[in-house]
Amino acid sequence: MQVFKYLFFISFFISTLLSNENVLSQKRSNSLNLSQQKIDLDSAKQTIDWINPINFSYKKNILVPTRDTSNFIIPNTKVSTISINQPIFKSGGIYNAIKYSQASKQYQTLDIDSQRKVLIKDVTLLLFQLHQIDLNIKKQFYKIKNATIDVSQKKEQVLNNILDLSFLNNSIITLNNNKLSLEDLNLNKQDLLNKFNNLSSKQYSNFELPTFNIIKKEDFIQKNIYIKKSKINEKSLNYLKNVTLSQYLPTISLTHDYVNYHDRDIDTSTTGIKISIPLDVKSYYDTQSSKVSYLKSKLDTSIIEEEENNYINTKLAKVNIINKKINIQKSNILYYTNLIKEMSELSENGLKTLDDVIILQNSKAIALLELNIFKIDKQIQLLEIYARTN
């Protein structure tokens, strides 16, 4: 079906609401920004982790004579030492360690971006729900108006012995239930407002609902943030696998030692090359474990791709059903429009009461509100896609 080839994608570049983080409270934005700063700093440190520190030491011996030392040569009491032991070749370990650090930063940055999008999605979802509940409250007012008219008509018919009292009683119950439902809606709105205020520091009425564009389903898979994260994780584990292997292969290091004997004003300096090969009984299990982690990450990526593909199919199926409901509601509105016209003519000729026309007008208003509620339902389904794209 053609609808499954495309999905509706929220254009946050066009929408003022979602093109920035103004929808979020300042504290939440600052928290995300600080997390990103920490990632940048940790990554910068990790990139140069292969560089060993330069060790400097200063030693001063304190001699406590226990017998006559006049005939002895006093040893050096002040000695400074500078030592360097820097690997310059680790069988690919240095290169892979740097690439692993870069991949880790990409993954963590994407994770922060995902958290940011989820927060914006959550607050925008509440924004949709608040607009939707406003429509439901308006709809409930029209229901109460119709129920009130119905009670008045039933009361008159009962007084004229046209209807049994049970009909009037049922109408009164319907009216009361509608009033109770209105109170429930007001309570639900307050709950949504509280949740919205937890994420945003502005009034929900200050924001406009976002607009929508169309993107190909294939583009969604390409931009999917979970698939991207999984692929980056797969890449980083491949580098880590190589780093782990290099730990058990030959390492060439540049060494330098400088010693200064302050008491004699003598210093020595030695520079050399050191080759080391670690012999560790755990090497096999360590390297095999890293390989298994890498192979598992490749399998996980494949699983996530399948899940995201099925996720989109499910969302598009829901959107397709909502589109059908919208079309049905449009037909219903057209039906009410024609019926109101006919009833108005009958009312002018005295064949129908004005209340009958008002009931139909209220019913049409309810249908129009329900149409907009369905449209928001559709937008809510599409909004879920936002947090999964980058």
User: Residue with structure tokens 């914006």?
Assistant: 120
Provide the pLDDT confidence category of residue 16 given band limits of 50, 70 and 90: very low
Cα separation, 7 vs 321, whole angstroms:
14
- Is 63 part of any domain? no
Q: Which residue type is seen at 189?
A: K
pLDDT for 10 equals 41
Which whole number is the average pLDDT over 60-87?
A: 72
**Domain-located, residue 11:** yes
pLDDT in tens, 280-326: 888 899 999 999 999 999 999 999 999 999 999 999 899 999 999 99
In a domain, 271, yes or no: no
- Is the per-residue pLDDT at 9 higher than 60? no
Q: Which residue has the tokens 């945003």?
A: 200
Quote the CA–CA distance of 304 and 301 in Å, as a whole number: 5
Segment 141-195, tens digit of pLDDT: 999 999 999 999 999 999 999 999 999 999 999 999 999 999 999 999 999 999 9
Nearest to 259 by CA among 61, 52, 83: 83
If one compares 47 and 56, the residue with the highest pLDDT of the two is 56
Task: Kindly give the residue spans of alpha helices, DSSP state H, lying in 17-92.
Answer: 26-47
The angle formed by the CA atoms of residues 210, 212 and 215, to the nearest 5 degrees, is: 145
Check residues 78 and 3 and name the one with the higher pLDDT: 78
Element of type H or E holding 114: helix 93-159
Work out the pLDDT band at 36, boundaries 50, 70, 90.
confident
For residues 225 and 110, give the distance between their C-alpha atoms in angstroms, rounded to a whole number.
7
Provide the strand spans (E) within 151-243. 212-216
Segment 27-38 mean pLDDT: 85
DSSP H/E element including 239: helix 225-246
The phi, psi pair for 359, rounded to 5°, reads -60, -45
Band (pLDDT 50/70/90 cuts) for residue 15 is very low
At residue 214 the predicted structure's pLDDT band, cuts being 50, 70 and 90, is low
Domain annotation covers residue 58: no
Q: Is the separation of the CB atoms in 371 and 384 below 8 Å?
A: no
Asked whether the predicted pLDDT for residue 211 surpasses 70, the reply is no
pLDDT computed for residue 266 by the predictor: 85
Instruction: Evaluate whether residue 161 is within a structural domain.
Output: yes
Q: What percent of the chain has pLDDT over 70?
A: 89
Compute the distance between CA of residue 103 and CA of residue 43 in angstroms, rounded to an integer: 9
Comparing 72 with 354, the larger pLDDT belongs to: 354
pTM tops 0.85: no
pLDDT, average across residues 109-133: 91
Would you say residue 130 has pLDDT above 80? yes
| Confidence at 73, pLDDT banded by 50, 70, 90 | low
Q: Could you tell me if residue 21 is inside a domain?
A: yes
- Give the total number of structural domains in the chain: 1
316 burial type by CB count under 10 A (0-12 exposed, 13-18 middle, 19+ buried): buried
Q: Average pLDDT in the 210-224 region?
A: 80
Q: In which domain, by residue range, is 343 found? A: 2-52+91-249+283-386
Which pairs with CB-CB distance under 8 Å and at least 24 residues apart come from 293-300? 293/237, 293/240, 293/241, 294/234, 294/237, 294/238, 294/240, 294/241, 297/230, 297/233, 297/234, 297/237, 298/234, 300/230, 300/233, 300/234
**pLDDT at position 194:** 95
Rounded to an integer, the average pLDDT of 82-101 is 90
Q: Return the bridge partners of 216, or none.
A: 6
**Cα distances (Å, whole numbers) of residue 299 to 107, 141, 289, 305:** 18, 55, 15, 10
- Whether residue 77 lies inside any domain: the answer is no
Give a yes or no: residue 81 inside a domain. no
Mean pLDDT, the chain, whole residue set: 87
Residue 192 sits in a domain whose CATH number is 1.20.1600.10
Banded model confidence at residue 137, pLDDT cuts 50, 70, 90: very high
Task: Read off the DSSP letter of residue 55.
Answer: E
**In the prediction, which pLDDT does 349 show?**
87
